[in-house]
Every structure is written in C-alpha cells, then in structure tokens.
Amino acid sequence: SFSDLAAGISRFIFDMLNKWLTLASPIDINANRSIKFKFKNFAQKTYYLSEYFINVSNEKEKSLIKRNIKSFIDEMKLIIMSANYTKDISSSILSKNREPSDHISHYILKFSEEKKLHEIKENLAFLMYKSPKIFDNDIFDSLHLTSLIFKGDFTTIRNPKHVSRIIAFSYFFKKSINQIKSQIQTSKRLVKLKILKTNLSTQKKPILGILIVMDLLYENEYFEKNYILESISQITKDFRYIKSSFITDRRDPKILSYYLEIEKKELNYFSLKEINDLKRKLSLAFSSKMKKLINPIYLPRNEEEILRNIIILTKQLNYVKDIPQVIISFDKQSSKEISFRVILLRLLKKDSPSLKELFSYSKTLLKFSLDETKIVDLLKRKHPKEANVFKLSLNKFDFLRRDHSLDLRKARQKIYLELTNILGNFRDFNGGLLSKQLDAMENLKKIMPSSKKSSDFILEEFFYSIKPAAQQIIVDAKILKKLFLMFIIILKKEFKNSNFLIDTKTEKNLIYIMLKTPFTKIKDDIILAVKKLKFKSFEILTSSIDRNDQKTLGFVLISKDSTKKDLLYKAIIKEIEKSFKI
C-alpha cells in the first residue's frame, strides 16, 4: 500500500540526508514534518509531502549544500521511482518477518548501494586522517553523488578500495595541477597519469585501470575515449577495452579527469615492460591528442574571384594542343567531409564528353557537384573554350593528423590525383609549389633512419617550419635530415643549470645551429639579429617550432665563406649572452 511506501521513503530520505548531502560530515537535522493527502477532485491518487529543517553550522557547509542539492534530489527521485516500480516484485523475495515499511527502505538502500558508498567514504576519511596535508574535507566533494559519476554497475563489480583509489588519486592530481599553475606561469600542458592494477568481481582475469588528469590550455579543447585507446594502441597492441569502464569528470572547467580499463586479449596479464612503457609514454601521447573545436567558416561563393580566375585561365589556352587549366581551392568542411572548389578551362573538341559523363564513367570516391558550365571564348573562332565550376567532396577522416588537425595539403593532393585519373593531364595552375613540397617531404621521409619512422608527425611539422619555403624544395634532403636529427636530440634534452641549450655542427660549406629555450622573446631576438646580417635567401634556412614551453630554433648556412659562418654563430651567442647577462 502507499502507506508502506511513504513510511519507507521517509526513513530513507532522513538517513540519506544525514549521511550523504554534504558527504564531509553528518547533517544536523533538527526536525521534519510530513503529510499524506489527496486532492478532493482527484481522489484516485495519494500524495506525500515531507519537509526537513537542517541546522547549517558555517558558510562553507551552506555553500556545499546549495551546490549539491539539485543533483542530490534528481538522484533521490530516480531511486524512489525505481523502488516504487519494483516494489511488488522485490517484496516476494524479502523476509516474511520484516515489517512492510521496512521492505521498501531495505530495497532502496540496496538499490543505491549504500554499503559500498559508505565503505568508500570510510576509506577517504582514513586518508584524511593519515595525510591531512594532502587530503582535506574537499575530497568529499570528489565523492559527490558518486552514483552519478560511476554509471550503471560500475561500483557493483569493483572493489570499494579500488573506487576509493580512483577518487583519491583524481583529487590529489587536480590539487597538484592547481598548485603548480598557481606558482608557475607555464604554457606546458600538465598531465598526471596513474596505472591501477585491479580485478572485476565478474572475472578472474587481471585488468589495468588508467586514470588521466590534465589541464585545459584553451577554452575550445576537448578529449575523447578514442584518443586514449589510440594512444594506448601505439604502445601495446594486444589489449581490449573493458565495456562501460569509461568515466569522465568535467566538473572542473579547467581540469579534465578520465578513467578507463583495459585487459589483454590473449595472455592473462600485462608484462612489467608493457606497464612501464604505458607509464612512460602515455602522458606525452595525450598532450598531442587534445583536439580544439573549430567554428565552421561561413564563406559565401565569391563570384568576382571566380570570374577573375576564369579570365586568367582562359588566357592560358592559346593553342589547340594546350592541356586543360585548373585552379583547385579549399571551399569548406563539415563534420564528415572536406570540399574543394575547382575551376576548369578546357578546349572542346569533336565528341568531347561532358564533365558529368567523365565523372560518371570513373570509379572515383569523390562526390561531384557541378555549379555551372559555359562557353567563354573561341580559339581561332572555331574551338570553344569551356569553363566549368564545380565542387569535389571527400571523407575528411583520411586526412586527420595525429593531433586531429586537418591536413589540407594531402587532401588537395588527393583531389589532384583523382582529377588526373578522370581528366588526364592538366596544368595545376595554383598548385605547383604544393606538389613539389609534397615530393620533397616524401623524399625526406625515405632517407630517414628506420628508428625515426614513427616521428613522421614531428618530421612534417619540422619540414613545413623551414623558411624561406622555397628552401624546402631546393635544399638537399640530406641537409634537412641532419638538422632534423639535431632538433630531435635537443628536444629530448632537459634544461639543467641554464634556460637555453645550443648545439652546432660544421661541414665544409655548411654550419648547422640548433638551440632551445623556454622564452619566446629570446628566440624572437635571435631571429631579428640574424635578419640584420642580411644573408641571401638561398644561403640560409631557418626552422622555428614551439612545443608548449620548448621553443626551438634551427639554422643552416650554406656558404664557402667561413667569415659568414662566424658572423652567424657570434650573432646568436651575443643575443643569448645579452638575454641572460652572462
């Protein structure tokens, strides 16, 4: 009956308020009053109203109650409704000697897993007692409505001590990150990682829990489960994700916490080497996986620019044997696709198939959308010059880099290759330099040592940082290889007694200089000092890369004149000495 339910709920709410509203300490409930009633015109339903009077001892407790109350009520509502729905089913298996009002109270307490949550709370209280400087009352905020954070049967099949460790380490890492950021101004991402060995009650096979806590450097950053699994797969292959083990805590707007579990596919356990590799390499991998939300670009079609490009391409067709002229430019991107706008000028001959026919005959995966086709001129008064403006779209996920940025160069190159298969030879009017850059990049990759093949992502970043851009194509790949290897070595070195590192190598007609500093101003001052030396553009190349708080700067001077080499080196050293007043 309803009276049974009301009595059980009253007892349950009183108990839950007392123990769990603030989590840090029991609530002082002075009094409560309740009433069971019906509305005269709606007598078929019975209602229950209960009011509780709580004594709040201080402002901190008041603030904590205000913050917790809404989600606490939502959780209570869910538990009570579920209990009401299953009351009749559960009552048949309960003890016959128990009072009816105890039935529902017992079921609700069982449903909410109070015993496990209470044990977790006791574990955290012990940590506070044992290490009061590290764990204070705020740790109970990390337990705030654990049933909302740990969804489903997460706590049911896991040892309360293990759940306590997740909460404790998460709290400790957040506190540590906040302390570091309050003391030091740094643009470096702080990533805290903990590997936890555990078991599930449903299986004997050991599993690894992975807890990640990291700060956000920008407002539009986000991180996903797939990024974590992808990072793990780069370190160990033979693993499986434990279903429903992924937990995200986004309550702090500036710090994210993630937890998930993995197990071995074949073997029963992870080797010590695999665990050590995960501890050593995962933090670095996560830093590069962070993705930024980018607002879509609203860029209406520029008719004036299209017309101007058509006129330019029309002037390139002067002879009957001239190949088609093409301009390929980025158009837009959606959640799944990237699109390019193409302007094609060609000479129409007898029986020339239309552009639609050419694409329909091909086996391309490109999506073709024709905007317009028109005859814009006649060559020698009899050969029509046809202008086509169309859009080509392709799956953008094939062109996402390791940091989830979109590689427009590779996407455009794919468009170029597909168009070549469909149209035959044509002149890529605005893509000559790009094509040569991609070729030079591939040549550089080929001559890299096999041990550096996994550094392709960093190699691309290095290659496209080289200025002037023409040097990417002109300079011998072996020279770029040597500078890149110097870059990798200095990137791994730690600052010890100074805030800069410098490395030099000299060959017959070459000098290589690579340096690293945490200060942007020093790097900018060195670049300015080198510019004042006024070397010719084909004599010198520069590579400048910023990776969090590591600013690297590389130079290669190609000259037979040893005086110029000395000038370059002395100019750099002078700026370093000036900055640090050596």
For residues 15-35, give the mean pLDDT: 73
Give yes or no for residue 366 having a pLDDT over 60: yes
Q: 212: which strand partners?
A: 193, 258
pLDDT in tens, 152-195: 567 777 887 888 788 778 878 888 888 888 887 777 788 889 99
The residue ranges of every structural domain in the chain are 2-112, 139-292, 303-430, 439-580
Give yes or no for residue 91 having a pLDDT over 60: no
| CB contact at 8 A, 401 and 382 | no
Query: Bigger pLDDT: 384 or 30?
Result: 384
SS3 434: helix
SS3 384: strand
Give yes or no for residue 365 having a pLDDT over 50: yes
C-alpha dihedral sign at 143, 148, 151, 157:
positive
For residues 62-86, give the mean pLDDT: 69
Cα distance between residue 110 and residue 82, in whole Å: 12
Most trustworthy range by pLDDT among 40-49, 442-451, 551-560: 551-560
pLDDT in tens, 196-240: 998 888 887 889 999 999 888 776 676 778 888 888 888 888 898
Residue position matching structure tokens 């100019």: 571
**Mean predicted lDDT score pLDDT of the chain:** 81
Q: What is the DSSP letter of 493?
A: P
Residues in Cβ contact with 84 at an 8 Å cutoff, skipping those fewer than 6 apart: 5, 104
Cα distance between residue 574 and residue 582, in whole Å: 10
Instruction: List own/partner pairs for 557-563 with CB under 8 A and 24 or more apart.
Output: 557/510, 557/511, 558/475, 558/479, 558/509, 558/510, 559/509, 559/535, 560/509
Q: What is the pLDDT of residue 477?
A: 93
Of 334, 331, 343, 446, the residue nearest 385 (C-alpha): 343
SS3 260: strand
Q: What is the pLDDT of residue 453?
A: 55
| CB contact at 8 A, 14 and 32 | yes
Q: Is 46 exposed, middle or buried (0-12, 13-18, 19+ CB in 10 A)?
A: middle
Give yes or no for residue 115 having a pLDDT over 90: no
| CB contact at 8 A, 239 and 263 | yes
Amino acid letter for position 234? Q
Alpha-carbon 179 to chain mean position:
24
This prediction has a pTM of: 0.55
Alpha-carbon 135 to chain mean position:
30
Give yes or no for residue 137 having a pLDDT over 60: no
